[in-house]
Amino acid sequence: MEWQPDEQGLQQVLQLLKDSQSPNTVTQRAVQQKLEQLNQFPDFNNYLIFVLTRLKTEDEPTRSLSGLILKNNVKAHYQNFPPTVAEFIKQECLNNIGDPSPLIRATIGILITTIASKGELQTWPELLPQLCNLLNSEDYNTCEGSFGALQKICEDSSELLDSDALNRPLNIMIPKFLQFFKHCSPKIRSHAIACVNQFIIGRAQALMDNIDTFIESLFALAADEDSEVRKNVCRALVMLLEVRVDRLIPHMHSIIQYMLQRTQDPDENVALEACEFWLTLAEQPICKESLSGHLAQLTPILVNGMKYSEIDIILLKGDVEEEDEAGKCSAAALDVLANVFRDDLLPHLLPLLKGLLFHPDWVIKESGILVLGAIAEGCMQGMVAYLPELIPHLIACLCEKKALVRSIACWTLSRYAHWVVSQPPDSYLKPLMTELLKRILDSNKRVQEAACSAFATLEEEACTELVPYLSFILDTLVFAFGKYQHKNLLILYDAIGTLADSVGHHLNQPEYIQKLMPPLIAKWNELKDEDKDLFPLLECLSSVATALQSGFLPYCEPVYQRCVTLVQKTLAQAMMYNQHPDQYEAPDKDFMIVALDLLSGLAEGLGASVEQLVSRSNIMTLLFQCMQDTMPEVRQSSFALLGDLTKACFLHVKPCIAEFMPILGLNLNPEFISVCNNATWAIGEIAMQMGAEMQPYVGVVLPNLVEIINRPNTPKTLLENTAITIGRLGYVCPQEVAPQLQQFIRPWCTSLRNIRDNEEKDSAFRGICVMIGVNPAGVVQDFIFFCDAVASWVNPKDDLRDMFYKILHGFKDQVGEENWQQFSEQFPPLLKERLSACYGV
């Protein structure tokens, strides 16, 4: 007997569906409660599918809504549906996939893929064969509905479809889809391409076996009159460019010609997909040879795509964030191509650029300024000749009447900041800074944002060049505090933090502190501990504390306490969540990470003065937990703080060393570069403080360090840090480390020869010298590397120079004059010169 609804029950469900479309919130709440009651009845879901598939007289939105509520139920508790209900729903879906209404077909398709993705592809073996069969139906609706459902299944389960789990259905499906590329209906052609497109990136075997047919079928659709079809063709070619460029190379010329047309497609979505092609092509090694002949055509097309369209201008008037994606994509494409072709792009661009930049129509002028910014990175060399004329013109554009011109001029000027700073300050830096600071206080939010970001870039480039103007800069940034709304405040924090990083201790003047700190502290007191806006503020304060050093003392107590509280709260919340994941939210660990970073900034800025704060808090206990957190970023920040505390107030760190060292040893794992880097650095700092007492811990960390320094492809900074820490361990415990000398001396020397003279390098080289004293045989085979590393010092301290002198002369005396001559013949001339000049060998 087939299931039949009870008439009264059906009316109840229909009433509920009608109510749920009401805008009234009270009604909505009642609907939610009623739904939860009805979900207790096992056959409630039968009513929902019945309304969707059988009640053809009901209005479509109500039927569709019934299907969507059913979909949510499937998502939440399909595994508890009685088998009869599940069967009824599946049957109804397949029988009605050809409903005359497109909305109902689409809803049934969504329902099918939701059931399928609940692990039901395996337990619904007839689904794929039936859908594929229905594609052959003479009835358009049935064919389109089945294809819609198949497309959703391909999107949701592409990996499963290409696995052995289902007996490789793609071997049948893909050839089948390819046949429909020629179908008379554009909707169905579009579905067919979209289905196959799901399998390109995963390189599904069945598609690779039919790849040539696929590419030919795509070419056949090149001139399709339907924009959705053209969009899917473009998308396919972009993905093929990533995974099967070998198959496209023979046709590259015509593909590029096609994409040049599509980039100008009247349908913006098609143009956007086509524009992605240039971005992808730029990453391919074949880019230069395949595109160079087409630059003359492509350049004007991209430049033209960078203008705002009529509709964008209307949208932008309402300050809508929806910006013209195609304009953005063209700019990005020009940017990457400028990086590929460098100055070879300029002959095609410069003739256009002149006309744009000085054009009376602001829309065209704006696009010209964008072009100029887009090519800044790639074509800098060739642009230098024109900048003395262009930069003043751009600075003048900062005062244009149109806000969009002012904001783009901010961005483009920031792209040339490096050049501006390299010129005498009065020529460009001063006028640029003066105008940018006015724009930071612009009445238009978009301009404020652009100016603030541009100013941060200028700060990074100018560094201490800004010191003479600090008072003026701070007045503007502090004034902006009172003016800015939420989103731009975040950018303002960044500009202040970058300023502090750039001018460093020059900020530590009572007059500057008086200007800057009160508004920052006011914001700090305003924000709650749960407020995400704390992140950028904490980051900003961290930079400020590091720059101000002792100048930050009056503010450090409340800042320190709150950071400790944030760490404590996050750890407590994480613990509750781990014990009862069903009852508690997982914490946002960013609060803890940013707080640890600010504590690092305090320790670094305040130095020994941080001691009293540490002594009155349980930070060491908290740090012990943070160092063992599952999240790498938390560990990374913990080890940075540990290193800074070791330098600032070791007496509080020392009692914990026995517990901390094994954890540090475990984290010497180059899989997490930054964690490993900070742990390595902290070990080195601890060694310098521990001295000979470091001895019991050398065995815990040395083997890992030696392994890391000998690994191929280790990033440069990690190599340098590892070498410094090995040197420092050797300095305090030479007897333990020197026997290993031969295992690391060569990579040790090569990784430290390129770093500037500094404290860390000094202590590391002292360690190497002491170890050579203990185990001279360990260095003999690689002595030329040691000589080269010694020669990399510009001016070592006197006693270190003496150590070098003794080792070089000791070796020379040991091997004898004649052997030394032969040995030093291998030296490059520069090395020979330096050693004889500095050490007389």
DSSP string, 655-707: GGHHHHHHHHHHT--TTSHHHHHHHHHHHHHHHHHHGGGGGGGHHHHHHHHHH
Q: Which of 477, 485, 468 is nearest to 518 (CA)?
A: 477
Give the number of other Cβ atoms within 10 Å of residue 816's Cβ.
9
Residues 248, 461: Cα–Cα separation, whole Å: 43
**Is the pLDDT score of 326 beyond 70?**
no
In tens, the pLDDT along 175-194 reads 999 999 999 999 999 999 99
| Structure confidence at residue 312 (pLDDT) | 74
The pLDDT-based confidence of 222 (bands split at 50, 70, 90) is: confident
Residues in the chain: 841
What is the percent of the chain where pLDDT is above 70?
Answer: 98
CA atoms of 404 and 413, how far apart (whole Å): 14
Q: What DSSP string runs through 800-811?
A: HHHHHHHHHHHH
Distance of CA 745 to the CA centre of its chain: 37
CA separation for the pair 186, 197 (Å, rounded): 16
Q: In angstroms, rounded to a whole number, what is the distance separating the alpha carbons of residues 304 and 311?
A: 16
Residue with tokens 């198949």: 150
Q: Burial of 122 by CB count in 10 Å (0-12 exposed, 13-18 middle, 19+ buried)?
A: exposed
Q: Tell the residue number behind the tokens 């470091």, with chain if given.
A: 694
**Pair 479, 440: CB distance under 8 Å:** no
| Measured CA angle at 234 (ends 229, 237), to 5 deg | 125
Dihedral sign from CA coordinates of 641, 646, 649, 655: positive
Question: CA 145, CA 113: separation in Å to the nearest integer?
Answer: 13
Q: Give the span between the Cα atoms of 71 and 281, in whole angstroms.
A: 41
617 phi and psi, to 5 degrees? -140, 165
Where is pLDDT greater, at 368 or 308? 368
Question: Residue 217 has what pLDDT?
Answer: 94
Lowest mean pLDDT among 189-203, 305-319, 480-494, 664-678: 305-319
Give 288's DSSP letter: H
Residue 19: per-residue pLDDT:
86
Half-sphere exposure of residue 561, counting CA atoms within 13 Å on the CB side? Answer: 6
CA 519/CA 411 separation, integer angstroms: 27
Residue 500: what pLDDT?
97
Spatial CA neighbour of 554 closest among 522, 596, 521, 586: 521
pLDDT at residue 410 above 80?
yes
Contacts for 391-397: CB closer than 8 Å, 24+ residues apart: 391/416, 391/419, 391/420, 391/428, 391/432, 392/428, 392/431, 393/357, 393/358, 394/369, 395/428, 395/431, 395/432, 395/435, 397/365, 397/369
Mean pLDDT of 342-364: 94
Mean pLDDT for the chain?
Answer: 92
Distance CA 645, CA 640 (A): 9
Q: Tell me, what amino acid is at 488?
A: N
Can you read off the two tokens belonging to residue 484? 């800015």
**What would the pLDDT profile of 251-303 be if each residue is shown by its tens digit?**
999 999 999 999 999 888 999 999 999 999 999 999 999 999 999 999 999 99
Residue with tokens 């701070």, as numbered in its chain:
474
- Give the residue with greater pLDDT, 504 vs 319: 504
Rounded distance between C-alpha atoms, residue 796 and residue 799, angstroms: 8
Cα angle value 235/237/242 (rounded, 5°) = 100
Mean pLDDT, to the nearest integer, of 10-35?
87
549 in Cβ contact with 601 (< 8 Å):
no
Q: Please tell me the predicted confidence (pLDDT) of residue 125.
A: 83
pLDDT of residue 120: 65
Q: Is the pLDDT at 679 greater than 70, yes or no?
A: yes
Distance CA 56, CA 51 (A): 8
Which pLDDT belongs to residue 5?
85
Looking at the chain, the whole-number percentage of residues with pLDDT higher than 90 is 78
Q: Give the alpha-carbon dihedral of 728, 732, 736, 739, to 10 degrees.
A: 60
Is the pLDDT reported for residue 779 higher than 60?
yes
Give the range among 87-96, 306-315, 352-361, 410-419 with minimum mean pLDDT: 306-315
Can you tell me the distance from the alpha carbon of 758 to that of 794, in angstroms, rounded to the nearest whole number?
Answer: 10
| Residue 324 scores a pLDDT above 80 | no
Place of tokens 């040539």: 212
Which residue is it, tokens 């006693």? 799
Q: Torsions phi, psi of 667, nearest 5?
A: -90, 5
3-state secondary structure 554-621: HHHHHHHHHHHHHHHHHHHHHHHHHHCCCCCCCCCCHHHHHHHHHHHHHHHHHHHHHHHHHHCCCHHH
d(CA 245, CA 236): 12
The amino acid occupying position 523 is K
What are the tokens at 568?
A: 């404590």
Q: Would you place residue 549 in the very low, low, confident or very high pLDDT band (cuts 50, 70, 90)?
A: very high
CA distance 75 to 69: 10
Structure tokens at 266: 């009247």
What gap in Å lies between CA 504 and CA 548, rounded to an integer?
7
For 403, the token pair is 């806000």
What per-residue confidence (pLDDT) applies to 313? 73
Q: Which three-class secondary structure string do you get for 75-112?
A: HHHHHHCCHHHHHHHHHHHHHCCCCCCHHHHHHHHHHH
Cα 636 from Cα 675, distance rounded (Å)? 4
Token readout for 646 is 């070791």
CA distances from 26 to 17, 23, 514, 838 (A): 15, 9, 53, 87
Query: pLDDT at position 663, please?
Result: 97
Whole-angstrom distance, CA of residue 619 vs CA of residue 599: 10
What band does 504 get if pLDDT is binned at 50, 70 and 90?
very high
